[in-house]
Amino acid sequence: MTDRLEPLLKKMAVLGIDTFLVSDLHVIRWLTGFSGSNARVLLGGGRALFFTDYRYAEQVKQEVLNMEPVIIQSSFVNTFLEGGYLSGSKVAIQAEQVTVQEARQLEKKLSGVELVPVDGFFDEFRMIKTAQEIAAMKHSAAVSQQVLEEILPMISPEVTESDIAAEISYRHKRLGAEKDSFDPIVASGSHSALPHARPRPERFVPGSLIVIDIGCICNGYASDQTRTVALGKIPSEARRIYEITKDAQQFGIDSARPGMTGRELDALVRDYIGHHGYADCFGHGLGHGVGIEVHEKPRVGKSSDDFLSLQSVFTIEPGIYLPGKYGVRIEDTVVMHENGAEPFQTFTKELIEL
């Protein structure tokens, strides 16, 4: 973990930043392993300081081994003030995280401190996963895949989308996950054509496609996977868009190379779907980075200049959606190697007919 700090301190020096006030808990977890809900980190002056409140005094001893812990008595700002941690320096804050209220409070109380809002400072570092992080993500993917295997036989006209969504969350936890990485999507009938459908208390109807998009968090790292299955006999057009989506997704996996941009990979798969006549039916981006957060860098979409670097982890999840009828999405999370993308998931992509 300590080696994680060095490139950050170098980048700060280049940008002329004396101290970095880190307030994003995802970044803090990435930096330290801390899994609690209240913390700040100060980087700079050759030190890394970790601030949290009394509730986490014991937890910090277990989880935060690479920084000096400080237990705050009142507020973070008061502690910074009393300890002289920020005085007379140029302090970077995370523009996308710090509220206007908190920034005002800092400015008011800490005279002589110049606040510099910085965007996405940690993204380029978080994007490149260590072997340890990749192992954690494979585990998280395996847990969620087991849940997918367990819940498919439970789908029938007797149960509802909400029933299955609840089973998914329950089974994630039973298998050791901290939580779902996002609310499970279980979308049947015409709802399968809604990319972000919310599970309904409605029974599955035979002759329907069912999109199941799920993930969990284990040891701080997220997984993300989608499969689409059929309940009963489905129309030939539904079968057709299933096959095109499946082949497009495989084409995406096979085409991914380190150094490509997100835009380039997205375009390849988008064109593939376009050539098969469904250009207007794939409205979202091809994928997104996954790590501590289930949506992080790199973005894999139409306007993304993010590089798909070695050891980056991202999803490949094309979909074809026919509004009012049905939709298909198939998604794996992949890690980029020298010779291409390796999916974490091994679950079949042949159409499963329940």
Using CB under 5 A, list all residues that contact Mn ion.
Answer: 224, 315
Of all residues in this chain, which one has the CB nearest to Mn ion in the complex? 224
| Distance of closest approach, residue 265 Cβ to Mn ion, in angstroms | 15
For Mn ion, which is the closer residue by CB, 69 or 215? Answer: 215
* Contact call for residues 94 and 24 (beta carbons, < 8 A): yes
List, as one string, the DSSP characters of 42-88: EEETTEEEEEE-GGGHHHHHHH--SSEEEE-SS-HHHHHHHHTSSTT
Longest dimension (CA), the chain: 71
Is the Cβ of residue 192 or residue 315 nearer to Mn ion in the bound state? 315
The distance of closest approach from Cβ of residue 28 to Mn ion in the complex, given in angstroms and rounded to an integer, is 24
In whole angstroms, the minimum distance from the beta carbon of 248 to Mn ion comes to: 15
Cβ 331 to Mn ion shortest distance, Å: 5
- Answer whether 344's CB lies under 8 Å from 136's CB: no
Nearer to Mn ion, 60 or 185 (CB): 185
CB of 5 to Mn ion, least distance (A): 30
Q: Which is nearer to Mn ion, 304 or 315 (CB)?
A: 315
Instruction: Show the beta-strand stretches assigned E in 82-136.
Output: 90-94, 114-118
249 vs 315 by CB, closer to Mn ion = 315
Nearest to 207, CA basis, from 189, 237, 234 = 234
Q: How far is CA 202 from the centre of its chain?
A: 29
Q: Which is nearer to Mn ion, 133 or 224 (CB)?
A: 224
To the nearest whole angstrom, how small is the minimum distance from the Cβ of residue 315 to Mn ion?
4
Instruction: Please give the Cα distance from 85 to 103 (Å, whole number).
Output: 16
Residue closer to Mn ion by CB (options 90, 284) is: 284
Residue 182 CB, nearest distance to Mn ion (Å)? 8
Residues 6+ apart with CB under 8 A from 111: none
Structure letter (DSSP) for residue 153: G
Smaller CB separation from Mn ion, 163 or 224: 224
Phi then psi for 101, rounded to 5 degrees?
-60, -45
Nearest to 319 by CA among 336, 335, 331, 307: 331
> For the chain, how many residues are written?
354
Minimum separation from the CB atom of position 46 to Mn ion (A): 40
Task: Give residue for tokens 């968090």.
Answer: 217
Instruction: State the Cα–Cα distance between residues 221 and 270, nearest whole angstrom.
Output: 29
